[in-house]
Amino acid sequence: DTAVSQTPKYLVTQMGNDKSIKCEQNLGHDTMYWYKQDSKKFLKIMFSYNNKELIINETVPNRFSPKSPDKAHLNLHINSLELGDSAVYFCASRGGATIGAETQYFGPGTRLLVL
């Protein structure tokens, strides 16, 4: 259950603030992701990193900046928070693209509420 972990679990903040969410995986995976789940439960990819390099950026506003200090960590910093940023943010990781390694494992989620 602690294979992919995120902190904090809950985050309540005011509009305009800057906040960070941290993610760590101890699975030895090369690829990590950030997904956003909105109030209607839609799950959508935001970013993907492979061995610390950005490989996917799905037209996310520049206020969102991912950072990967090493392949086990992928953090998400959000500047100038807006009401529409309220959502659950899930980190995920994957071993690779080969058969048997393509399963993605999700963290427990960070519930962000912007007031």
Among 17, 26, 80, 103, binds another protein (CB under 8 A): 103
Near another protein in 19-58, by CB under 8 A: 31, 33, 35, 41-45, 48, 55-56, 58
| Token pair recorded at residue 63 | 């206020």
CB atoms within 10 A of CB 4: 23
The reply to whether 107 sits near another protein by the rule CB under 8 A is: yes
Per-residue binding string, another protein, 60-89, x by CB under 8 A, is ------------------------------
Distance CA 13, CA 91 (A): 20
Nearer to another protein, 8 or 16 (CB): 8
Question: Could you tell me the smallest distance in angstroms from the CB atom of residue 19 to another protein?
Answer: 20
Helix (H, G, I), strand (E, B) or coil at 49: strand
Cα–Cα distance for residue pair 41/34, rounded to 1 Å: 15
Query: What beta strand segments (E) does 1-115 contain?
Result: 4-7, 10-13, 19-25, 31-37, 43-50, 53-57, 64-70, 73-78, 87-94, 104-106, 110-114
CB of 41 to another protein, least distance (A): 5
**Binding residues for another protein (CB under 8 A):** 31, 33, 35, 41-45, 48, 55-56, 58, 90, 92, 97, 99, 102-109
